[in-house]
Amino acid sequence: MKNRQIASFNVSAIGLGCMNLSHAYGAPVSAEQGERVLLAAFDHGVNFFDTAALYGFGANETLVGKVLKPHRQKFTLASKCGMQGVEQSDGTKVRVIDGRPETIKKTCEDALRRLQTDVIDLYYLHRWDKKVPIEDSVGALSDLVRQGKIQAIGLSEVSAGTLRKAHAVHPIAAVQTEYSLWTRNPEIAVLQACRELGAAFVAFSPVARGFLCGPLDITGFDAKDIRRSMPRFAPENHAANLKLLPGYNALAQEAGCSPSQLALAWLLHKGDDIIPIPGTTSVDHLLDDLGAVDVQLDASLISRVEALINQNTVSGDRYNAQANSEVDTEVFA
């Protein structure tokens, strides 16, 4: 495994997004399967694991903490606050965005307990709560740094302007945003802002929520699969997007790699400061993803794959109106 840098942390060039094991794409896998995936990643050189309070309403942090505790000194641990589950009067939990300083500090205490650790290496504000000045939320995170409960601060799904305001309060070590061939929004402004400020860029959903892994049966999505609400997976848009795959798969074959590896290798070639964090519930898929670190792409192939799949050739927005209202990321006109 090759390595890249986030603040003082030397991390694997490809990390593991742990969300899939507990959240968002249907029923969670068994604890045993989750353990297999986490340990397989660790055994194959992954030393950057990404979780959040939201994922499974704490279940994902609990799983990561239990499985990886014996190896705690050998990997960089990232988690997130500011978006979590809140219990209702009937006992159910609903997702809320809450960036108030007191909520951030309580969420961190809960995360430390679930993760079975004394310190979180990289702690992100999962979403900017637009009712709270970003300076106040980052101020709370900077208090946690001073208290030794977290080591570095990250932001997720923010604009370049919000990043700069946050960075004026405390150095921002990383920005995490969706980035893949079919989601190019970071290229508008925030990726350049990260480079100017010395923040790493962590790319989630780097294989386009599974679209670039191969044909998906959208009719078979679980009732709770978040892709059901995403416009790109609506039947008409999905049918249009499927027409991109034959050409894309041909380029992967030309590069001598799998479709998933091409998507990840493209990101790795976009800059040494970019760390993709694919997620999976399958050890086989995990190992295929990790093979992307050895894929070499020439300028011609990069140009052709970018021309094939980009914001102008993909049908549908990445989020629905509700989800779009919750992020601060720049959008294409």
First to last CA, the chain: 38
Please state the separation of Cα 223 from the chain's center in Å: 22
Q: Which two tokens stand for residue 78?
A: 């990232």
Q: Where are the beta strands (DSSP E) in 91-188?
A: 93-97, 120-125, 150-156, 172-178
Give residue 316's pLDDT: 98
Among 25, 55, 179, 319, the one annotated catalytic: 55
Q: How far apart are CA 326 and CA 95, in angstroms?
A: 12
Q: Pick 3-209+268-295's CATH classification: 2.60.40.10, 3.20.20.100, 3.40.50.1950, 3.40.50.300.
A: 3.20.20.100
Residue 333 confidence (pLDDT): 87
pLDDT (tens digit, 0 to 9) for every residue of the chain, 333 residues total? Answer: 999 999 999 999 999 999 999 999 999 999 999 999 999 999 999 999 999 999 999 999 999 999 999 999 999 999 999 999 988 889 888 999 999 999 999 999 999 999 999 999 999 999 999 999 999 999 999 999 999 999 999 999 999 999 999 999 999 999 999 999 999 999 999 999 999 999 999 999 999 999 999 889 999 999 999 999 999 999 999 999 999 999 999 999 999 999 999 999 999 999 999 999 999 999 999 999 999 999 999 999 999 999 999 999 999 999 999 999 999 999 998
pLDDT given for residue 87 in this prediction: 87
* pLDDT of res. 276: 99
Annotation says 55 is catalytic: yes
- The pLDDT value recorded for residue 309 is 98
pTM (2 decimals)? 0.97
What pLDDT shows up at residue 215?
Answer: 84
CA–CA distance, 267 with 262 (Å, rounded to integer): 9
Strands 9-12 and 3-6, bridge-based pairing:
antiparallel
Q: Where are the domains of the chain?
A: 3-209+268-295
| CA 120 vs CA 8, 194, 200, 282: distances in Å | 14, 22, 17, 26
